[in-house]
Amino acid sequence: MAEATFHGRTARPAGIAALRRIWREANGLQRAALCIGLALLAVAAFAPLIAPHEPTAQSLIARLRPPIGFERFKEGYLLGTDELGRDVLSRSLHGLQLTLVLAMLGASIGLVLGGGLGLLSGIAGGTVDDIVMAAVDAQIAIPFTLIALLVLAIFGSSIEVMVLVLGLYGWEQYARIVRAEVRRLMQMPFVEAARAAGATGSRIAFRHVLPNTVSPLVVQFTLAISNIVLLESTLSFLGIGVQPPTATLGSMVGIGRDYMPTAPWIVVVPAAMILLVTFTVQILGDWLRDRTDVRLIDR
């Protein structure tokens, strides 16, 4: 299909123009984080195609071989092998894929649950507000690691249970943020004008109030992704996360800790990926906060 023209010039899609403007306004660190983030997503999405070996394929003859450039390096295992002769690179790629999926699902569940309860609490007030905030206080009072241990001990360590546990992590932070923003926004003149115009409560909530909570929610969402990655790594490190032979970055670090003195690459590679993911998400979160904050857009 031919592109539309205007005064003899080719009209570019608005989306491409917006992306180019955002790219021009970003600093060097933000551009680097965006490129790294896109690369991580691409690598995770195509991990089965990129990985040179099956993540569970064992070769005891090739166990504990170092990465390329060291003595005893084995051809075809660029980042070395673990205690069972499994390719560290292949397991790291598949582990990155599963870790990102768990983090995104968990953060999304927390966003929907906590954001919805915060919105309901801020608008309804009264008894509803008291009940929601009592649940928030109870959640804050109990260390979440203990809750995760209890749930995993009762229901097992399947991926579905892990998603549920990770989704419950941090929902109270969303609720508190949204509730505080809603209570502030409900006193603003534009909300009063909407009420005077006869707008219903649901229209005020979703049309006027919720869009103005996007900026703090974006920041909290990115923080939640980083924290969930670390939480999953902690649970897997303790041996109660996703069970072997399924690989996550945290489980690889947990299993490899016993071989740190003799085979540090087993831990260094997945740990470096965890650090890279969390650092990249933090930088992009701050950037998105600045791009979505309606109070900063026109400045």
- What is the SS3 assignment for 5-22? EECCEECCCHHHHHHHHH
Q: What does DSSP say about strands 9-10 and 5-6: parallel, antiparallel, or unpaired?
A: antiparallel
Whether 102 has a pLDDT exceeding 80, the answer reads yes
Burial class (CB in 10 A: 0-12, 13-18, 19+), 43: middle
Q: What is the pLDDT of residue 282?
A: 83
Whether 131 has a pLDDT exceeding 80, the answer reads yes
How crowded is residue 5: how many other Cβ atoms within 10 Å of its Cβ? 9
Highest mean pLDDT among 101-105, 123-127, 284-288: 101-105
Q: What is the pLDDT of residue 145?
A: 82
Percent with pLDDT over 70 in the chain? 87
Q: What is the pLDDT of residue 86?
A: 92
Q: What is the pLDDT of residue 143?
A: 85
182 vs 205: CA distance, rounded Å:
8
The mean pLDDT of 276-290, rounded to a whole number, is: 82
Report the chain's terminal Cα–Cα distance, integer Å.
39
How crowded is residue 133: how many other Cβ atoms within 10 Å of its Cβ? 17
Give the pLDDT confidence of 53-100 residue by residue, as tens digits: 998 888 888 888 889 888 888 888 899 898 888 999 999 999 999 989
Q: Which tokens go with 175?
A: 């609720």
227 vs 210: CA distance, rounded Å:
24
Whether 42 has a pLDDT exceeding 90, the answer reads yes
283 vs 97: CA distance, rounded Å:
20
Q: What is the pLDDT of residue 18?
A: 57
| Tokens 């007030």 -> residue | 125
Whether 3 has a pLDDT exceeding 60, the answer reads no
Give the pLDDT confidence of 176-229 residue by residue, as tens digits: 988 888 888 777 777 767 777 766 666 777 776 777 777 788 878 888 888 888
Burial class (CB in 10 A: 0-12, 13-18, 19+), 271: middle
Q: How is the chain split among helix, strand and coil, in percent rounded to 5? A: 70, 0, 25
Name the residue with higher pLDDT: 87 or 23.
87
**Domain 44-292, CATH 1.10.3720.10 — does that match?**
yes
The mean pLDDT of 111-122, rounded to a whole number, is: 88
pTM of the predicted structure, to 2 decimals:
0.80
Cβ partners under 8 Å of residue 198, min gap 6? none
CA 14: distance to chain centroid? 28
Closest by CA position to 186, among listed 129, 140, 226: 129
Question: What is the radius of gyration, based on Cα positions, of the chain?
Answer: 24
Cβ(119)–Cβ(205) below 8 Å: yes
Q: Which tokens go with 35?
A: 């490129």
